[in-house]
Chain A
Amino acid sequence: MRAANGALALLAVSLIFCFSFQHLAYHLRWSAIYPYRQLFLQGWLTTIGLSAAALVCSTLAGLCSALAQGSRFLPLRYLGKIYVELVRGTPLLVQILILFYVVADAFGVKDRYLVGVLTLSFFSGAYISEIIRAGIESVGRSQWESARAIGLTRSQTYRYVIFPQALRQSLPPLAGQFVSLVKDSSLLSIIGIQEFTLSAQMANARTYSTLECYLPLALGYLILTLPISLWTRRLEKRHQFDT
């Protein structure tokens, strides 16, 4: 029954697209971009590498920032808040340019891939920080009280009581953030990182086959983002419990 309903929904979506492309009356010429398949594949693999590295780093950055904002040491707390507000309030494009051409240059970091991963982590970390902070705050005062009463230390309380419960709250928005992260990596093309989007742009520049270049692009990103959604959904199920 579930499969049938799913198939029905999928059919409806395909019909709309089929109609639209029919209406366009344009014959897709896949042969034009076929010679560029290696370019696409390499770009796609680069995007995977960048995203995977940034996913790990941004989670760490978000965790540190969330904990800093819960700290009893005020300068640390404000540092966390400034970081979040600064990053969320400015465009990623500007951040990439400034971090690459100004900050990385000043610190003598030449590897653009390294800068790319760090910039993306820096950006996504601010959002993850807020997701984690909200998750931590969703755990009630009584849980802290209970943990204190049985004699857990502060760090034990985070580890055994607060984080496991915060994780459940954080997983759905976290999945969304990870999916965004994969797509946001496309902006790294502006500092000359040869990732998936830049590959498509290059192929397009040489063949003028815009649709033939960008349709595989959409598919390629979908192949990366769908597993993230499915994986977090499975995690959500495993961490399910009623409060």
Chain B
Amino acid sequence: MLQKFFPTVLNLNLRLRQIVKRFDGPLVLDGVSLSLDGVRTLALVGPSGGGKSTLLRILGGLEHPDSGEAELDGQRLVFTEEALLRHRRSVGTVFQAFNLFPHLTALQNITLPLEKVHGRTPAQAQETGRQLLARFHLEAHAGKRPADLSGGQRQRIAIARAVSSKPRLLLLDEPTSALDPEMTAEVLDTILELREEGLDFVLVTHEMGFARRVADQVAFLADGRIVEAGPAAELFGAPSAPQTRAFLAKVLKY
């Protein structure tokens, strides 16, 4: 049996109040408010350009809103560079395009932040890195550079890197959009496994089937606003807003 990497189940409390973000003109987030308790996995779904990724990036401390407040587990996010750096170190972020460092091996990609950010000794970092690679069945690829790995392997290494410091929350920005179906399954299995171990997630995804299966809470974003949010079963089973219904009908058609 796999050893538990994340022993405690935290369950996230999330509060967003009137978050507004604009990028040189267009309004990307137009007053997003959300209040959820005891979330284990929150899926952000909705049409492209609706503001899902921007919201995720704000939660990950990569972007600061023009106005509004965000609170994670009763802790208000402070949007100064110093506070954001600390915040980024406490969460893990995985991007759509893997974003591994191409000049480093798979193992080095994982050990770099452990050594330089989290103060582990090289030996400790190596051990954690090897443990994680073994867990994700990637130990044979430890010495390979990203270019020599498949998309699915790369994304799983990116996930391993993001969880190596035992973050309190993992943020996934369309983690499978750049992958073919087989690799998508590979990555989704990994995510599911981590969830079973008690890691909390916020996930932006186009995989409605997966969102339905893994998420306990879902927020539907369109035009920079939250149209509807609630337990996954309700939102997918009986969406109340016409916009959500139309979207789901369209994406679930095929």
Measured CB to CB, the residues of A under 8 A from B are 142-143, 145-146, 148-153, 156, 160-161, 164-165, 168, 239, 241-243
Is B62 a contact partner of A150 (Cβ separation < 8 A)?
no
* Distance, CA A165 to CA B62, complexed state (A): 23
- Is there a chain A Cβ closer than 8 Å to B100's Cβ? yes
Q: How far is the CB of A171 from chain B (nearest CB, A)?
A: 13
Q: B83 → chain A, closest Cβ, in Å?
A: 12
A168 touches B103 (CB 8 A): yes
Residue of A nearest to B81 (CB): A154
Please name all residues of chain A whose beta carbon is closer than 8 Å to the beta carbon of B93 when the two chains form the complex: 149-150
Check if B113 sits within 8 Å of A243, measured CB to CB.
no
Give the top 8 A-B pairs by smallest Cβ distance, nearest first: A242-B147, A151-B89, A146-B99, A150-B113, A149-B93, A151-B117, A243-B102, A151-B88
Q: Which residues of B contact A151 (CB under 8 A)?
A: 85, 88-89, 113, 117-118
Cα distance A160–B101 in the bound complex, in angstroms: 10
Contact with A along B221-248 (1 / 0, CB 8 A): 0000000000000000000000000000
Q: A79–B64 Cα gap in the complex (Å)?
A: 31
Complex Cα spacing A96 to B162, Å: 54
Q: Can you pick out 16 interface pairs between chain A and chain B where the beta carbons lie within 8 Å of each other?
A: A142-B97, A142-B99, A145-B95, A149-B62, A150-B93, A150-B112, A150-B113, A151-B113, A152-B116, A153-B85, A156-B116, A168-B103, A241-B102, A241-B103, A241-B145, A242-B148
Task: Report whether B95 and A142 are in contact in the complex, using a CB–CB cutoff of 8 Å.
Answer: yes
Provide the residues of chain A in CB contact with B148, threshold 8 Å: 242
Roughly how many angstroms separate A146 CA and B103 CA in the complex, as a whole number? Answer: 14
Residue of chain B at shortest CB distance from A159: B116
Please report the C-alpha to C-alpha distance between residue A105 and residue B145 in the assembled complex, in whole angstroms: 54
Question: Which chain B positions have C-beta within 8 A of A161?
Answer: 101
A243→B99 CA distance, assembly (Å)? 10
Chain A minimum-CB-distance residue to B90: A151
Contacts known (A142-B95, A160-B116); A165 close to B88, Cβ less than 8 A: no
Q: Which of B88, B99, B147 has the most CB of A within 10 A?
A: B99
B161 contacts A by Cβ under 8 Å: yes
**CB distance B102 to A150 under 8 Å?**
no
Judging by beta carbons under 8 Å apart, are B62 and A243 in contact?
no
Contact check: which of A143, A145, A156 meets B62 at CB < 8 Å? A145
